[in-house]
Every structure is written in C-alpha cells, then in structure tokens.
Structure 1
Amino acid sequence: MATVLVPLAQGVEELEAVTVVDLLRRAGIEVVTAGLDAAPVKGSRGTVLLPDTTLERAIEREYDMLVLPGGQPGATHLEQDARVITLVRKMARDNRFTAAICAAPKVLARAGVLDGKRATSFPGALDPTQWPNVRLENSPVVTDGRVITSRGPGTAMDFSLELIGLLVGREKRDQVEAGLQRGE
C-alpha cells in the first residue's frame, strides 16, 4: 500500500489539507497527518484539525510521498521547521515524491528541490527574483519528475487526483474522480 505523510502546521489551508487527505484515502492510500507538535492544528479559517500523530513520531518511518498543504501562516511554519526541510531533502534524495500546494512550494524551493524544475504556486509565493532557477508556470498542477506543485485551494481536487494517479495509477484515479460527481 502506498504511504503519504501530510505535515500540518498552525495556519494550514484547511481546504487543501482535508481534500488531499480525503481523496487519497478514498483511493486506498495510507495517509498519516502529523502536527509539528502535539497540539491540535488551527487552520487559516479557524477549523481545528486533529493530526494522527506528531511530526517527530511520523518521521521515524518511510513514506512514498510527502505532501505539504499551504495556507498562511502554515506554509511559513513548514518552511521554518528544520525537520521539514530535512525531510523534503531526504525524500528527494531517495527519489520519492514531494508535493506542495499554494504557498507551500516555497518550502520545496527552500530545500533546493525545485532548482531547474517546472513548478507553480499561489501567485507571489515563489518570487522569481529569489528563486531564479525555478521555471514558474501558471498551470493549476505541474508535475516535473517526482515533484508536484499546485496553485491553491481551487486546484486542490486536481492536485489530489494527480497524486493518486502517480501513486496508484490512472484507473484508481479515474474511479475516485467518478465518485466525486464533478461533471461529465
């Protein structure tokens, strides 16, 4: 079974975090949510999320993918957490998937995994003058090798479906999408 770690920081964008967790679990993927500490996580819109575990405990095992939800100040908290930066670098070094949405692609940039890659983010989250080696695009979701980035809350479903396709295949991705009744 594919395994995914989703770190949750105070100020996370709830729509992104919950959409990723929900859709990946619908696909039969094991998703572990981890708070940066033991406290419940209060999202950017005031919704309180209860992580499965703490990041300290979660990083004791291996995952196929790391997904960083955005939101502010959530993405900044992820970017400032040395454990998260170390984990991003380890995942990339081990040729595992790293994914980030909204403002969180700046965490991937800070860790150096976006150098020379195509990426997207919430407008302004990745400043091209600060990250000149990142090839920014305006697409809803950008996949470049094992790095996946997305724009924001409105692209969370497309982002999650892309992650499902990469982890467990197109057939399961299509099955999950059909169950969502998104239209024709």
Structure 2
Amino acid sequence: MPSAVVVLPAGAEEMEFVASVDVLRRAGVTVTVGGLDGTDPVKCSRDVVIVPDVALSSIDKDSFDVIVLPGGLGGAKAMAASSLIGDLLRNQEKNGKLIAAICASPAMVLKAHEIGVGKKITCYPSFKDQLDDKFTFVDEIVVQDGKLITSQGPATAFAFGVKIAENLVGAEKANQVANGILLK
C-alpha cells in the first residue's frame, strides 16, 4: 500500500493540510502526520489544533512514497528554516520519489532547500515573484513536473490531493475519490 507523510508545522494552513490527508486516506494511501516539532498538538494558521501521529524526526526517511508540505505562511517559514525538512526533501528527490507542496511552500520551502530547481511549479500567486530564476511559474491550480507536484492554495487543496493520489494509486481510484467528494 502506498504511503505518505504529511508534515505538520505550527502555522500550517489547515484546509490544505486536512484536504490532503483526507483525499489520500480515501484513496487507500497510508498517511502519517509528522509533527515538525514533535508530537504535541499543533496550532494551525486559523487556530485549529491538530495532533501529529509521530515526531517527524523519528520517521524512517526512506519509508514514504510522497512527502506533502502544506502551506500557511508560518508553517512554510518553519519548514524553510528546518534542516530536517531539507534533509528529508533532498533524500526524497535523490531517490526519485514524489514531493508535493502547496500555497507558500513551493516558493518558500522548495526554494530554501533547492528542491526541484529548474522545474515548472505553481504556488500562491502573490509568492510567484519570489521564485526568481530557480523555477518556471505556471498559473494553473495544480502543476506536475516529473516527481514534483505543486498547487496554489486552500481552494485547490482537493485537486492537489487527487493529483497526489493519482500518482500513488492510479487515475481510476483517484477519479473515484474525486467523484465521491463531488469534486468532479
């Protein structure tokens, strides 16, 4: 069964986080919520509190098919500053595995850790000027370039989750999930 770790930093955008976890679980993906700062409850950007399954520092860095980075300015800043996130992402990229980032995370986290340099990505539109010449911005709700999936923000989070699921469990199952949540 495919597996995902969804990173949970303080200040994460909860809609992006929950939609990604929900869609992936509906698709049959084993999802682990990895707390950036441990296992204590995490306050997200709109004061919703979520409890991680595990401390991100305790995971086996080779055991997940995808690493998912939610947005939210505070969460993206924390992940951009985290050497642990950098190490996990570089390992994932080196091993040719999926990385998925939404909202501020493509522009802040991927750029900070030099992940996916040269690829086509999208992000929250107000962050596109921060991409410099490291990436090519594409104004679409979800963009996939190789093993990198990016998306724009809260309203695109379900389509983002479905694209990740499509890569992990196939288009047929991903479409069943999309239809089941009335996305299509």
| More helix by percentage | 2
Give the drift of 1:78: 0.7
Map of 1:116 onto structure 2: 118
Q: Return the letter of the residue paired with 1:28.
A: G
Alignment check: 8 A CA contact 1:109 1:131 kept: no
Q: Return the letter of the residue paired with 1:176.
A: V
Alignment check: 8 A CA contact 1:104 1:121 kept: yes
1:143-182 matches, within 5 Å, as 143-182=144-183
Q: Return the letter of the residue paired with 1:52.
A: D
For residues 46-94 of structure 1, the C-alpha deviation after alignment (integer angstroms, 9 at most, x for no partner) is 0000011111112455111000000020111011110001111110000
- Percent of aligned pairs with the same amino acid: 39
**What is the TM-score of this pair, normalised by structure 2?**
0.94
> Which stretches in structure 2 are left out of the alignment for 5+ residues?
none
Map of 1:26 onto structure 2: 26
> Which stretches in structure 1 are left out of the alignment for 5+ residues?
none
Map of 2:89 onto structure 1: 88
Map of 2:14 onto structure 1: 14
Distance 1:182 1:146 in 2: 23
**What is the TM-score of this pair, normalised by structure 1?**
0.94
In structure 2, relative to structure 1, the CA distance for the partners of 1:32 and 1:127 (3 Å cut) is same
Alignment check: 8 A CA contact 2:158 2:183 kept: no
In structure 2, relative to structure 1, the CA distance for the partners of 1:60 and 1:162 (3 Å cut) is closer
Distance 1:43 1:13 in 2: 6
- The SS at the match of 2:33 is strand
Distance 2:66 2:37 in 1: 21
Q: Return the letter of the residue paired with 1:56.
A: S
